[in-house]
Structure 1
Amino acid sequence: MDEYRKQVEENIVESYRQDEDMMILVFAQWCVNEGLDPEELYMQAYPQQQGNERLKRVLELTVPKEEAGPIPDETVLGVLSLFGNEDLAFAVSEAIAGRDKRK
């Protein structure tokens, strides 16, 4: 029973990690689509976290804006909020506001 429970817990943790990587990818691709540097925006939200390795790894999966589908602002904000990244969602909101002012 303990081995089964351990395996279930490991599967849950791995599933969450994969979901979290997808959230990071949505954020990073949105930044690329908007002409923003994902690492710079991340550092605005979390200045105490130097060099986020997961973000760097996921950045390799982004594609040029021309190859990507659109990611609505509401989608990236919703995904960030779902994972409790309120500070990053705030930084994204500020980037959106700045973009909208320039239009």
Structure 2
Amino acid sequence: MEFENRDEFIIKKYQQDEAAMIQVFVNWAVRNQLDPVQLYQRAYPSQIKNEALFLAVEEAEPFDMEVDDESLLELLQMFGNDDLAFVVSEEMEKIGRK
């Protein structure tokens, strides 16, 4: 039983961390006047609706969280979202040229 509880704890902790990563991404996009859903769809065009992303967008409070560009890219890559990190880095370059 203890082993199952530990596994459940690890899974729950990962899910919480992933939800926090999504919230950071959404807040970055909103703060930079970008559509987080559109960015996500560019990165993963064949993926069906991401419920966690839509929930984060619905609950987003604009400008409630500051995160620098490098930290966001590292966070996305840490969770295996390399395609999204690439799309975000493209947008960061565009923002830098304005």
2:74 paired residue among 78, 81, 89: 78
Contact conserved, 1:43 with 1:50, CA < 8 A, in 2?
no
Paired position in structure 2 for 1:95: 91
- List runs of 5+ in structure 1 lacking aligned partners: none
Give how far 1:74 is off: 1.1
Aligned CA RMSD, in angstroms, stands at: 1.1
Q: Quick one: percent identity of the two aligned structures?
A: 42
Paired position in structure 2 for 1:14: 12
Paired position in structure 1 for 2:37: 39
- Give the residue type in structure 1 aligned to 2:32: E
- List runs of 5+ in structure 2 lacking aligned partners: none
Contact conserved, 2:73 with 2:88, CA < 8 A, in 1?
yes
Based on CA coordinates, which of the two structures has the bigger radius of gyration? 1
Distance 1:4 1:69 in 2: 37
TM-score after normalising by structure 2: 0.93
Runs of 4 or more consecutive aligned structure 1 residues displaced over 3 Å after TM superposition: none
TM-score after normalising by structure 1: 0.89
